[in-house]
Amino acid sequence: MKEKKHLLTACLCLAASIAVCCITGANFLKARELPMPQNGPGVTEVKMLSDWFSGLKGTHADTPVYVLRGAEPGGTMLILGGTHGNEPSGYMSAFTFIENAVVDKGTVYVIPYTNRSGMTHNDPGEGNMQYFTLQTQSGPRTFRFGSRATNPIDQWPDPDVYVHYPSGQKLSGSETRNINRAYPGRPDGNLTEKAAYGVAELIRTENIGLTFDLHEASPEYPVINATVAHQDAMPIASEGCISLLLNGIEMSLEQSPTNFHGLTHRELGDYTDTMAILMETANASQGRLRGATSQRQVMGGQDKCYELSERLGMLYVPWTVNGILGHPIEERCGRHLQGIKEYSTAYSNANPDKPIVYRGVPGYAELFLNADPTYLGGSILGSYLK
């Protein structure tokens, strides 16, 4: 009788385990189906990164590339969103550009999920959400909140020490899955290095003149509300930065350090002919000083712990901008999109034979300065999404 009882409870426990596996397994598998941008009026073609580097075909690192070709010839520009999946203003700016831009001169390439594999999982240890929802023109639309690093299902194990190719620089082992430490990449490297190589191949093949990499960082990180530019891009970055300051956008400009390897603003400038620019905004959901992670924090950019941190002088950015508390997604995307606008204008001024001219993309004023404050935190941004 006793033996029958423990066999019965064992069967029940096993059934419960399998049920949990089925439910959580379905959830994890669904995370591999990523929400994609709707084609805007300027999208002329949607390609895959494997069209430039076939080694990515069939992998979770192969990612869509949206091509917006203008009616008139001109320069070429690449926008990298989603380098880090836990920095939503990067890929949400890319979504907004794809769904609104009309290119008149030149060609713009946009990759919304540069590290696509990183978008297929998240960091539950950070208390991060899997999804967030915005009210858009077509109703509620759900977006992924991903991870900084490639999914370990796609690339593992991490070495104890990550040795960057080709510089030989040594970094923490977990950085081996960070695509912004993998440039210029290599065709026979790990999956993250292959994805980085694919981006570099796209730049080389399409002769991309100007490349943007869109990021966010915690408010207590020194390089924030900042642009980092390769030395070749400094003249246009300086001109663009002055325009941003004149538009009331606080932006610092730093030249890419020569001894910090693997990042877009260093390696893409060194190993291709593009002018590489990286921008950072303030994301409360990434910081060590934050409270509970929530949609209000990720989209609204508000956090009581950061309000206190500012009073204690622990932040590198003001916590109240234009009378608005925190850094809502509209302010962060507005900075990125206005930055792209000003830097590409500076590029066109410096290269009159290769102009990049586009319209229809909301900037800092439309998304933030002139917006009704009660709708900040996702609704204003959503109104520009299909």
Query: 17 or 322, CB closer to other proteins?
Result: 17
Query: 22 or 46, CB closer to other proteins?
Result: 22
Q: Which stretch binds other proteins (CB under 8 A): 14-22, 173-181, 271-279, 282-290?
A: 14-22
Based on the shown chain and the rule CB under 8 A, indicate whether residue 6 belongs to the binding site for other proteins: yes
Query: 25 or 248, CB closer to other proteins?
Result: 25
Query: 24 or 172, CB closer to other proteins?
Result: 24
Residues of this chain, 109-128, that bind other proteins according to CB under 8 A: 121
State which of residues 1, 4, 29, 134 lies at the interface with other proteins (CB under 8 A): 29
Q: What single DSSP character describes residue 310?
A: H
- Least distance (Å) between residue 164 CB and other proteins: 22
Residue with tokens 């009660």: 374
Per DSSP, helices labelled H in 301-370 are 304-311, 329-350, 364
Q: What single DSSP character describes residue 366?
A: I
Query: 10 or 46, CB closer to other proteins?
Result: 10
**Residues in binding contact with other proteins, number by CB under 8 A:** 20
- Tokens coding 376: 């900040």
Based on the shown chain and the rule CB under 8 A, indicate whether residue 142 belongs to the binding site for other proteins: no
- Least distance (Å) between residue 294 CB and other proteins: 23
Query: 24 or 320, CB closer to other proteins?
Result: 24
- What is the Rg, in whole angstroms, of the alpha carbon atoms belonging to the chain? 22
Based on the shown chain and the rule CB under 8 A, indicate whether residue 7 belongs to the binding site for other proteins: yes
Q: Which stretch binds other proteins (CB under 8 A): 19-27, 44-52, 260-268, 354-362?
A: 19-27
State which of residues 47, 54, 72, 153 lies at the interface with other proteins (CB under 8 A): 153
Q: Which H or E run includes 88? A: helix 88-100
Evaluate whether 109 touches 76 at the Cβ level (below 8 Å): yes
Based on the shown chain and the rule CB under 8 A, indicate whether residue 288 belongs to the binding site for other proteins: no
Alpha-carbon distance of 109 to 67, in angstroms, equals 5
For 16, residues 6+ apart whose C-beta sits below 8 A from its C-beta are none
Alpha-carbon distance of 149 to 215, in angstroms, equals 14
- Least distance (Å) between residue 20 CB and other proteins: 5
Alpha-carbon distance of 364 to 382, in angstroms, equals 15
Positive or negative, the CA dihedral 97, 99, 100, 105 is positive
- Least distance (Å) between residue 11 CB and other proteins: 8
- Tokens coding 9: 């409870």
Greatest Cα pair distance in the chain: 89
> For 171, phi and psi rounded to 5 degrees?
-135, 170
Which of 133, 314, 93 is CA-nearest to residue 215? 93
Q: What does the per-residue mask of binding to other proteins show for 169-208, with x meaning CB under 8 A?
A: ----------------------------------------
Alpha-carbon distance of 79 to 98, in angstroms, equals 10
Based on the shown chain and the rule CB under 8 A, indicate whether residue 350 belongs to the binding site for other proteins: no
- Least distance (Å) between residue 16 CB and other proteins: 6
> For 46, phi and psi rounded to 5 degrees?
-120, 115
Based on the shown chain and the rule CB under 8 A, indicate whether residue 18 belongs to the binding site for other proteins: yes
Based on the shown chain and the rule CB under 8 A, indicate whether residue 308 belongs to the binding site for other proteins: no
Based on the shown chain and the rule CB under 8 A, indicate whether residue 24 belongs to the binding site for other proteins: yes
Query: 24 or 44, CB closer to other proteins?
Result: 24
CA 347 centroid distance within chain: 22
Alpha-carbon distance of 160 to 172, in angstroms, equals 7
Binding site for other proteins (CB under 8 A): 2, 6-7, 9-10, 13-14, 16-18, 20-21, 24-25, 28-29, 121, 153, 156-157
